[in-house]
Structure 1
Amino acid sequence: MLGCVTYMDHNEITLNEILRHTMHDYLNNMHLLQMNLDMGKTEEAKALIKKYSQKCNQFFDINNIGLYKTNEWLQTFSIKYNQLTLDVQTSLLNRKASMYDEALKDYLSRFVQAIYPHFRGYQEQFLKLHIISDEFLEILIDIRGDWSNNKWRDELIGDLFQLEILEATNNSITVKLIASGRLE
């Protein structure tokens, strides 16, 4: 279906909605920059420019290693999951991760969909992803918030990744996904 992003719950986000959301964020960022400049806070404005530039570079870096579908999922994340703040970090050295793209996007989507219904709206929830591509593709997932433990582990069954649980409590989960094969 051209121009739509389809999620597992069959809600479609149109290309127009994606662009509208992107333009809204862009205008908010420009207003924040203008406000800092108007108040003479040039260092804060420079820090914002650096932050926005790093976000753009991450987008291109994730595409360059072959994670196109995962990148689309990350870029449309806040439209679908507005109660969850996403922070993405990257350490990308090897560009041959495309064979894991579809599985990674599905894995992340199932993980968030398993946890998201249990969020409580009165506290901010954070999802931090660190994508590492060196010898292996690794994804560190760290989620913090106030929600009840549930069956998220059952949603994370797959062949291309190994799951290492680093922490699992009622308000935090830290896991590492490790691709089953080397990036060559």
Structure 2
Amino acid sequence: MKPHIEVNELLRAVHHDMLNRLQVMQMNLDLGRTDQVRRLIEDYSLRCQHFFQLNNAGFHQMNNWLETVHIHHPEIKVTYEVEGAHKATPDQDSELVQMFDDFLHQMKERFTDYHDQLIHVTFEMKQPLHVHVHFVGNWTVLQDISYDQDTLFEIQIVEYTKTSLKLEIVERAR
């Protein structure tokens, strides 16, 4: 992972994002597109709800990673959602961050300027814990990627195409 993010850097990113969203809403209001403004407010509200749900599920470090990865990697767009009420352990939280960070580090050199890098994560907070990850980008050389640590999770490739990679990360039986 990149060096520690300073509070001012984080606040600057949060305010920049908020200003962009407000400007888009203002533009849509000026154009009389109130339905679009409602949709934007709903989307932002849902994003905030998922942030709080992920924190409540015990994924504090993972939440930090998901919410700040764009600061050091602006080419990456991340969305996520949380289903269920099971709690993650601190070890699961830190290991999942390490897995995401390792994958990003290995894939970073393969990113192309003209191709969006999107990540959508669904946390199924049940036993066993399931994390579904959908990467949209350029994954033509995935066979070089590895994650060979003794882990709390098992990783399964659900879909692998030139532009889409779907993984299921499942908690190993204890």
| Unmatched runs of 5 consecutive residues or more in structure 2 | none
8 Å contact from structure 1 (residues 163, 178) kept in 2: yes
The aligned length equals: 173
Aligned residue number for residue 129 of structure 1: 121
Matching of residue 46 in structure 1 with residue 38 in structure 2 = yes
Structure 1 runs, 4 residues or longer, greater than 3 Å off: 96-99
Provide closer, same or farther for how the CA distance between residues 147 and 119 of structure 1 changes in structure 2, counting only shifts above 3 A.
farther
State the identity %: 27
Provide closer, same or farther for how the CA distance between residues 115 and 156 of structure 1 changes in structure 2, counting only shifts above 3 A.
farther
Matching of residue 94 in structure 1 with residue 119 in structure 2 = no
Aligned residue number for residue 25 of structure 1: 17
Provide closer, same or farther for how the CA distance between residues 156 and 143 of structure 1 changes in structure 2, counting only shifts above 3 A.
farther
8 Å contact from structure 1 (residues 107, 156) kept in 2: no
Map 1:28-177 → 2, pairs under 5 A: 28-150=20-142, 151-152=144-145, 154-155=146-147, 157-177=149-169
Bigger shift: residues 125-134 or 142-151: 142-151
Aligned equivalents of 1:156, 1:50: Cα separation in 2: 40
Provide closer, same or farther for how the CA distance between residues 96 and 143 of structure 1 changes in structure 2, counting only shifts above 3 A.
closer
How far has the Cα of 1:144 moved from its partner?
Answer: 1.6
CA RMSD of aligned residues (A): 1.8
SS in 2 for 1:128: strand
Aligned equivalents of 1:11, 1:25: Cα separation in 2: 21
TM-score (norm 1): 0.86
8 Å contact from structure 1 (residues 149, 169) kept in 2: no
How far has the Cα of 1:124 moved from its partner?
Answer: 1.5
SS in 1 for 2:5: strand
TM-score (norm 2): 0.90
How far has the Cα of 1:158 moved from its partner?
Answer: 3.6
Aligned equivalents of 2:23, 2:81: Cα separation in 1: 25
Aligned equivalents of 2:162, 2:148: Cα separation in 1: 18
Per-residue deviation, residues 6-31 of structure 1 (Å, max 9, x unmatched): x2xx5332111111001000111111
